Amino acid sequence: MSGDTETEPDYRFTLANERTFLAWIRTALALLAGGVAVSQFSLPRGGSAFHGVFGAVCILLAALVAVGALLRWRSVQSAMRRGVPLPASRLAPAVVGGVCLAAALGVVWAAT
């Protein structure tokens, strides 16, 4: 099948792509909620600046995940329609890096 011709993919694959998109959006919402909670509702243990940085990392990661999820959904849908191999995901490594950064900040926060 050529990469120039578009065909409607099997609906099961389209629905699976949408479920994956929604899973990424749930992850973004959880990060957003965690970032807001850390920056607004935490007891001061290490200074309010630290809460702000920790919360900002989570909130920025949430935005990255949401935008990345949309771009990934579009690229996978386009690849399925053109009958070409699925593109590599850049979202997963970015999320892993961001979550590791947030975890490191959490360890620093717990140690103070």
| pLDDT of amino acid 52 | 82
Quote the mean pLDDT of the chain: 88
Task: With H, G, I as helix, E, B as strand and everything else as coil, classify residue 56.
Answer: helix
Q: What gap in Å lies between CA 72 and CA 109, rounded to an integer?
A: 33
Structure tokens at 34: 């965690």
pLDDT in tens, 10-64: 899 999 999 999 999 999 999 999 999 888 866 655 556 777 888 888 999 999 9
In this structure, which amino acid lies at residue 39? S
Helices vs. strands in the chain: H and E counts, helices first:
3, 0
Average pLDDT, stretch 62-87? 95
Q: What percent of the chain has pLDDT over 90?
A: 54
